[in-house]
Amino acid sequence: MTYHGTYAYKTDIGRVRSHNEDQAMVVLNASGEVFLLVCDGMGGANKGDVASKLAIDSLSEAFRKKKRTPFAQFDKWWFTRACKDANSLIYNQAEKNPAEKGMGTTMVAALISGDRLMIANIGDSRAYLVGKDTIKQLSEDQTYVHFLVETGKITPEQALTHPERHVLMNALGIYPSVSLTLSVHPYKGESLLLCSDGLYNQVPEKDILALVSTDERADQKVTSLICVANQNGGSDNEGIAYWESIGHD
């Protein structure tokens, strides 16, 4: 089975930041697979924008060369290898260039291969599965505050305004090695939305669902999401990758 669809991806500087460190992309390969990717660079003056661009270029190129397989385990191996290669690329460049020392990036990616969906996550950028009237987060925020919620130290409500809510527990390119979270889900033609925290911190999930449930084109939906995030404060860059299935064969 191969799904066909429409897609769009876009980043925006927001209304506060001086430069854009987010990257987003949607790629299709010769095997009929779909790959969505969002990276949110970190490091500010330490070239977070360089880190996110290195990650996007490395991972999308690896996907273009990827062969389709019926086995989820092979795709897990491919994802792990591709992320390790991207991590090494960023880390080694930072080691050679003192101006880029400490740069890194979040990474969330989705691979649609037939009736299988695989999500890979490093950091706090998110992947959402969007149904007719539902939106479900498939990734898990790798942040200090999420850890506090999971261990019962604070409530989910307290997490929304916690002073350390932006502190990451994991990122791509910061250390010589990296760990990623991988999950596999059945895929039945739902829409997928990947985004950086610049979107979901400004736009509640119910509003995200409402905006992508319209009859607008995929690119119009993504533009609308960014406009609302900016209207609500635009306190960070926004990066979005969106996929909408229109059928399969």
pLDDT averaged per 10 residues, the chain (length 249)? 96 95 97 97 84 98 96 96 98 93 96 97 97 95 84 85 82 95 97 98 97 97 98 97 95
What pLDDT is attached to residue 197? 96
CA 94 centroid distance within chain: 22
Written as six digits, the tokens of 54 are 């290195």
Which of 130, 150, 168, 145 has the alpha carbon at shortest distance from 40? 168
pLDDT of residue 177: 95
Residues composing the chain: 249
Strand boundaries in the chain, DSSP class E: 3-12, 22-28, 34-42, 104-105, 107-113, 116-122, 126-130, 135-137, 181-186, 191-195, 238-248
What are 204's two structure tokens? Answer: 């509640």
Residue 216 has a pLDDT of 97
- Tell me what pLDDT residue 44 has: 66
Nearest Cα neighbor of 39 from 63, 3, 62, 11 is 11
Q: What is the DSSP string of 186-231?
A: E-SS-EEEEE-HHHHTTS-HHHHHHHHTSSS-HHHHHHHHHHHHHH
pLDDT of residue 43: 74
Q: Tell me, what's the pLDDT at 45? A: 61
- The answer to whether residues 21 and 90 touch, using CB atoms and an 8 Å cutoff, is no
